[in-house]
Structure 1
């Protein structure tokens, strides 16, 4: 049976998107990653919860592969709160995220509860350990498909299809993760494991959500340390090289970058190497910029594909908005009583 040209035009964006997803094979079960990893640090490791601020809330939006029909869009809300008593040891966090590929009818909604425990090992060295439990719901629908019986002989749209479409039933799953962050004022090391139970997403025998292991770290080189009002106001200027490695299923991601902080502005550049069995090796460069205005932090990044496929798909845009609070008076009291922790040195725009 031949299909009207208008059907082919209508279905092509959906088919293109579906073809790209099928080419990625197990990529159905890959977690989304952010170029602004430190603005979205709770998504990488639950041990970051409550580590930088007394409390904070971050709204993130990522539009990946904008040249692909429908693109892949992620919205995430992350919130963290360090409990003041007893002893500033405990912190609670919440992650809510939604992934969507418009023309494919794919959506994934998740909600994750996080807990972190902070402790000092020495006067200058501290450790945070975290754990999380999350719920997810994933579905793929045929909402954007049109069929031959929806068009008349002259190609005009005739109405709803008589096809019986069951689609993929929604899949509900639970996932768990743990992590730790060892840090001092000028350096940190983060190790985390996500999807420890490797939940089945139900699309095929290879559609589980694989275990994700991530190791990252960095060093802050102070070019000018901030000074309090007793010595006159002096803004921080620092240079922060970072590196990370992630393995999930058969895919590997390595990343190296550097940030320059001249308070209140942060700029950075990252090189990312992505390797997967189906898509080979892809190279991406991300440019990052952020600014602090009072309690508000705004960040923007753009991914530039260096390899051919990454370039054809169009990279990614990412925006983050963070409201954060740090009680300076309480911090002075903690310092006086020697109860304060080292300041986490990661870029925190």
Structure 2
């Protein structure tokens, strides 16, 4: 295999382990709850009446051609009938800058909400998505392009057709059980295991994810009518996901003193090819009215993860929640419990 091709597939293999944009693996954001629709379509419409989130992740910034992802997520909870229905949209673009890998995906989501009791609710969701990915050799050079003294001689005799673009469809489902103090989320993505056209791993592997958390209120928020009081809370979280031969497990905690949130997440990444790696992600976010701004930085703890340079991540969210309508729903006992997951 040419040196340039080895230089391409090694970083892609590393990206498979750490969850960045790469063939046969899904992107994972450290601000998982700001980008919760990417994990489970059942999150659509749970937190806000409607919202839109733009996320950007730059992984391995010390490598040439860092792995970059831009993602847009939007959801809308239909006001009638009965606040049962929500729609979602998820669009993302992945790029490995120096190696010619790109992937575009778009998914339409639907979620159905129902109250099991006055304090317990359930959301079930499904999504159908389209993806297109391409690997190109535009930036590669090969051995036959250099003379014995190392000077560049021109075009290569290698075939540069590469892999033709691959188009595929994917299906996912999920559910979220939640109350004011806790939530449990279970989802399955790529149930149809779409064919990606690669020789060694032709299908996009099934991804199973389980997440959960519990919010400990140190001070509950109170409206202006009773003397305004901001929320202060601590939310420990756990998550586990498996895709193909790779596994990711996390334990984290978020501290909220409204409007500021800070958090730390420990991530254990296991791969049959690269062993176990350890990462700590630091998260900070602030809310300005209907705007939320979040930042996360991944710190590699194990030698390999540290050498790759971590990751930077930024999210911007515009949200809307009708307080007057909420008061009416509460008066008529039609309110759903407020989902306690972090915003970042």
The two structures have a TM-score, normalised by structure 1, of 0.92
Q: Counterpart of 1:348 in 2: which secondary structure?
A: coil
CA 119–24 in structure 1, closer or farther in 2 if over 3 Å, else same: closer
Superposition CA RMSD, Å = 2.0
Q: Of the candidates 83, 93, 96, which is equivalent to residue 98 of structure 1?
A: 93
Distance 1:66 1:190 in 2: 32
Deviation of residue 217 (structure 1)? 0.3
The 3-state SS of whatever aligns with 1:21 is helix
What is the match of residue 68 of structure 1? 63
Unaligned runs of 5+ in 2: none
Tell me by how many angstroms 1:294 deviates: 0.8
Equivalent residue for 2:227, pick from 232, 253, 276: 232
State the 1:208 CA deviation.
1.5
How much has 1:197 moved relative to structure 2? 0.6
Match in the other structure for 1:145: 140
What is the 5 A alignment of 1:21-32?
A: 21-22=12-13, 28-32=23-27
Helix, strand or coil: the match of 1:347? coil
TM-fit CA distance, 1:151: 6.3
Paired position in structure 1 for 2:256: 261
Q: Size of the alignment, in residue pairs? A: 339
**Corresponding residue for 1:20?**
11
Separation in structure 1 between the aligned mates of residue 39 and residue 280 of structure 2, nearest angstrom: 20
Q: Name the residue aligned to 1:5.
A: none
* Maintained 8 Å contact 2:16/2:25: no
CA distance in structure 1 between the partners assigned to 2:239 and 2:228 by the alignment? 34
Deviation at 1:24, TM superposition (A): 7.1
Deviations 1:150-206 (A, max 9, x none): 668986666655654211111111110000000000000000001101111111142
> How far apart are 1:103 and its partner, in Å?
1.1
Distance in 1, Cα, partners of 2:210 & 2:150: 55
Match of 2:188 in 1: 193
The TM-score, its normalising length taken from structure 2, stands at 0.93
Structure 1 runs (4+) greater than 2 angstroms displaced? 14-28, 146-164
Q: Which residue pairs with 1:273 in the alignment?
A: 268
Name stretches of at least 5 consecutive residues in structure 1 with no aligned partner.
Answer: 1-7
Pick one of 171, 175, 186 that aligns with 2:166.
171
CA–CA distance in structure 2, aligned partners of residues 19 and 190 of structure 1: 33
> How far apart in 1 are the matches of 2:143 and 2:209?
47
Corresponding position of 1:203: 198
Change (3 A) 1:24 1:89: closer
State the distance in 1 between where 2:286 and 2:6 align: 40
1:326 corresponding residue in structure 2: 321
| Partner of residue 73 from structure 2, selected from 68, 75, 78 | 78
- 1:284 maps to 279
| 1:102-141 superposed matches below 5 A | 102-141=97-136
- Judge which range, 138-147 or 255-264, deviates more: 138-147
Contact 1:235 1:262 in 2 (8 A): yes
CA contact (8 A) 2:291 2:318 kept: yes
Q: Which residue among 292, 298, 322 is the counterpart of 1:297?
A: 292
Change in Cα spacing, 1:148 to 1:256, as seen in structure 2 (3 Å) is closer
Kept in 2: contact 1:24–1:279 (CA 8 A): no
* Cα separation, partners in 2 of 1:210 and 1:152, compared to 1, 3 Å: closer
Give the 3-state SS of the residue equivalent to 1:240 in structure 2. strand
- Whether the 8 Å contact between 1:25 and 1:278 is mirrored in structure 2 is no
- Between the aligned partners of 2:13 and 2:123, the Cα distance in structure 1 is 39
Distance change >3 Å, CA 296–CA 25, structure 1 → 2? closer
The DSSP-based 3-state class of the residue aligned with 1:233 is: coil
Distance 1:86 1:179 in 2: 22
CA deviation string 1:122-155 (max 9, x = no partner): 0000000000000000110011013467668986
Q: How does 1:54-65 map to 2 (within 5 A)?
A: 54-65=49-60
